[in-house]
């Protein structure tokens, strides 16, 4: 029959031209995946969708597998679409779109699951002690594809030793650095950054502050001014160290603490001071890495006594009171009030005494000089008198010349 032959040829043409196409999809773990099967020249044939384990999910739009995460959202002659919620890496693989006709057609829609890294963690493999090294490891335990780790300090990258380990379909990544440390590095900030294609240019960052252990330092903060009997003493012991020492010891060298001494935390207080409290006080602190101490020498002065003296300004002038503060310090007689400029009077008196002494010295010197001149002339007169006597005894005549002598 020619007519029936035409229908057979047409059916064969339609059957041969039916086709199915599948689309690959990538989704973040925990997200929702849309798996689509596109149909061409669909004639109502059976459409089957299977999971990577070849389990039938849907048969012509009817659920075949009891998994509520899968939902049929669209079934038309052109497009069949299902959704998968709360996707995990175990769902990864090829989903089959099959069209059953005289010749079975199928396409595979590959589902890829991307696992972004969580914020990395920092582990201390070796504790930081002053003068030593610290070993830090940044760990991203799970990512797909592997995350990229970078160490940053003061906006500069620190190269680390990177290692990877596969955990099923995910990868564990670590980066290790070693840093020399001093006590000034205690509290210094370092950061580990994790980058991943699924983060869209963002980074997961873990900040870490170095914890450097070191021996304590101790400094006693002294009180201001001079302490006198009856005053109160307060000494504060300023302590640094890591770990910070919990116990602070106050002692007095070669003696015990005063009975009225009170210790509150790092502060030593002594009320109503007396000279018996004099001595050297010691503050000590220690931790597992060393011990330190500082000392303060206490010197308590006697109380100030006030004495009033009356000094006359002149013979006819009225007297003026002067208040003197007598302190135990050497030369500590301090004039606090006076109505007469005694310093000027003292200067004038000193100049007068100096002038009198000079006059006396000159007078004595002149007297001694005159007495010496008189004695010299007297001796000369005696010599002349002797010559006269000698001439008289020898009987010298007038021929030798007449000489006159004045005796």
What is the torsion angle, in degrees rounded to the nearest 10, for the CA atoms of residue 397, residue 400, residue 406 and residue 407?
-50
For residue 356, give the H/E element and its range: helix 342-394
For residue 57, give the H/E element and its range: strand 56-59
CA neighbor of 140 nearest in space, from 169, 119, 124: 119
Neighbours of 352 (CB within 10 A): 10
pLDDT at residue 106, rounded to an integer: 84
pLDDT at residue 141, rounded to an integer: 95
As a whole number of angstroms, the distance between CA 391 and CA 393 comes to 6
pLDDT at residue 397, rounded to an integer: 44
Strand partners, 99: 47, 105
pLDDT at residue 199, rounded to an integer: 93
pLDDT at residue 312, rounded to an integer: 53
As a whole number of angstroms, the distance between CA 60 and CA 37 comes to 12
pLDDT at residue 342, rounded to an integer: 57
pTM: 0.61
First CA to last CA distance, the chain:
212
pLDDT at residue 304, rounded to an integer: 65
Which residues of the chain are modeled with pLDDT < 70?
A: 1-18, 102, 304-344, 371-407
As a whole number of angstroms, the distance between CA 52 and CA 33 comes to 14
For residue 135, what are the contacts with CB-CB under 8 A and spacing of at least 6?
124, 125, 126, 176, 177, 178
């Amino acid at each position: 029959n020619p007519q029936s032959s035409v229908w057979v040829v047409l059916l064969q043409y339609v059957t041969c031209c039916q086709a199915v196409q599948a689309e690959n999809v990538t989704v973040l773990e925990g997200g929702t995946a849309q798996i689509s099967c596109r149909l061409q020249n669909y004639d109502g044939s059976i459409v089957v969708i299977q999971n990577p384990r070849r389990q039938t999910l849907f048969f012509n739009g009817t659920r075949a597998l009891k998994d509520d995460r899968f939902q049929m959202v669209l079934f038309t002659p052109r497009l069949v679409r299902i959704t998968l919620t709360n996707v995990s890496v175990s769902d990864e693989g090829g989903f089959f779109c099959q069209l059953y006709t005289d010749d079975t057609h199928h396409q595979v829609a590959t589902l890829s699951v991307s696992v972004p890294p969580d914020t990395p963690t920092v582990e201390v493999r070796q504790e930081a002690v002053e003068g030593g090294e610290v070993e830090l490891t940044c760990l991203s335990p799970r990512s797909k594809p592997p995350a990229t780790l970078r160490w940053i300090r003061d906006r500069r990258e620190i190269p680390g030793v990177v290692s990877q380990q596969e955990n099923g379909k995910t990868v564990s990544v670590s980066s290790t650095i070693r840093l020399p440390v001093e006590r000034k590095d205690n509290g210094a900030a370092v950061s580990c950054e994790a980058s991943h294609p699924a983060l869209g240019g963002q980074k997961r960052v873990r900040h870490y502050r170095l914890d450097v252990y070191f021996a304590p330092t101790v400094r006693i903060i002294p009180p201001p001014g001079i302490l006198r009997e009856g005053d109160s003493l307060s000494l504060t012991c300023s302590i640094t160290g890591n770990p910070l020492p919990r116990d602070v010891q106050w002692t007095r060298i070669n003696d015990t603490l005063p009975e009225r001494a009170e210790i509150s935390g790092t502060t030593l207080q002594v009320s109503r001071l007396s000279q018996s409290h004099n001595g050297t006080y010691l503050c000590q602190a220690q931790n597992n890495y060393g011990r330190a101490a500082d000392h303060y020498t206490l010197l308590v002065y006697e109380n100030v006594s006030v004495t009033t003296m009356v000094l006359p300004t002149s013979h006819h002038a009225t007297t003026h009171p002067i208040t003197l503060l007598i302190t135990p310090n050497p030369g500590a007689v301090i004039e606090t009030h006076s109505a007469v400029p005694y310093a000027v009077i003292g200067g004038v008196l000193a100049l007068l005494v100096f002038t009198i002494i000079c006059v006396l010295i000159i007078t004595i010197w002149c007297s001694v000089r005159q007495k010496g001149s008189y004695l010299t002339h007297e001796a000369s007169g005696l010599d002349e008198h002797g010559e006269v006597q000698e001439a008289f005894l020898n009987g010298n005549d007038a021929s030798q010349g007449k000489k006159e002598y004045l005796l």
